[in-house]
Amino acid sequence: MAKRFPVEYYAERILAHDRLGLSRAITLVESTLPSDRELAHRVMDLVLPYSGNSVRIGITGVPGVGKSTFIEAFGNYVTNTLGKKLAVLAIDPTSQKTGGSILGDKTRMETLAGNKMAYIRPSPAGQSLGGVTRSTRESIMLCEAAGFEVIFVETVGVGQSETAVNEMVDFFLLLMLAGAGDELQGIKKGIMEMADAVVITKADGQNLQKARVARAEYQSALHLFPHAASGWVPKVSISSALENTGISEIWKTIGSYLELVKNGSFFEQKRQNQNLHWLHESIRQTLLDRFFAKPEVVKTLPELEQKVLKGEVSAFAAAEELLQLSHL
């Protein structure tokens, strides 16, 4: 196990904008060890007053849409042109054999990884639903306390993680391809309503005209969805990370959205509702962790699993027996 430090070390290094201290703190909140979780909670309590001051942007899209290439181009614009400090939390698919990240985001974003204004943290998704790690929200807050002004949260784009990401960001950006069939883009049916903006990527060369047509089609489709509580009408734009076009327009769209929602009470209410959502999620996850850690459950679960497999007992009866054993 990696060396652990006193709680004051993590808080002091984060507030001093020290990247090594930040990385160590994120490693701590990613740990599932009970002792690490307790230490992580204490660290979070200390840095909480210094969090919440960033623009949180969720970015998703199907594999092949060019998320990493887009994020690198967009990230370089945020850091180099706007002069803002950027943290990228990239949720990687996890190898079920090794438990490690498969895609390796730092190798896919070499220019941004070498940018002193940017911090990239690939996180293995583990067993969490849809690839959103249980620690992602805590990592966002740690990055904010460490002085990062813009946070990107990239999902694997498998269709399940988007709802979770939407509950932890201010602006949700959906990347789409022009001319791809519904089989490839089936993800869009469930998340188009969540998107605050849609970007048609790879709008260059022979794809440029297709991207323009797709932009018009998606803009028309978005008008069919119910109006958002914020009053915001989602925008559709085209972009080429290869030619570095359309990037500044996307940032302007985000700025327009934030101006709208911050003029009223929507922005603050959304953040408050997100806090409540993650309170309930934390309760659920903690109960699950404690349940499966119970010695009685560890001992009895394999036997009951075999009985369920053989049809000797129903899943419901087995679950009830385990719950009674756990005394939760």
CA separation for the pair 286, 103 (Å, rounded): 29
Domain with CATH 1.20.5.170 in the chain: 1-50
Buried b / exposed e along 48-61 (16+ C-beta atoms within 10 A)? eebbeebbbbbbbb
- Report the mean per-residue pLDDT for the chain: 87
Domain with CATH 3.40.50.300 in the chain: 52-264
Reported as a pLDDT band with limits 50, 70 and 90, residue 92 is low
pLDDT tens for residues 38-82? 999 999 999 999 999 999 999 988 778 899 899 999 999 999 999
The stretch 233-260 carries a mean pLDDT of: 96
The stretch 240-245 carries a mean pLDDT of: 94
Report the percent of the chain where pLDDT is more than 90: 63
pLDDT tens for residues 133-172? 668 999 999 999 999 999 999 987 655 677 788 889 999 9
Name the pTM for this structure: 0.88
Reported as a pLDDT band with limits 50, 70 and 90, residue 101 is very low
- Domain 1-50 sits in CATH 1.20.5.170: yes
Res. 268: pLDDT tops 50: yes
CA separation for the pair 292, 311 (Å, rounded): 23
User: For the structural domain made of 52-264, what CATH number should be given?
Assistant: 3.40.50.300
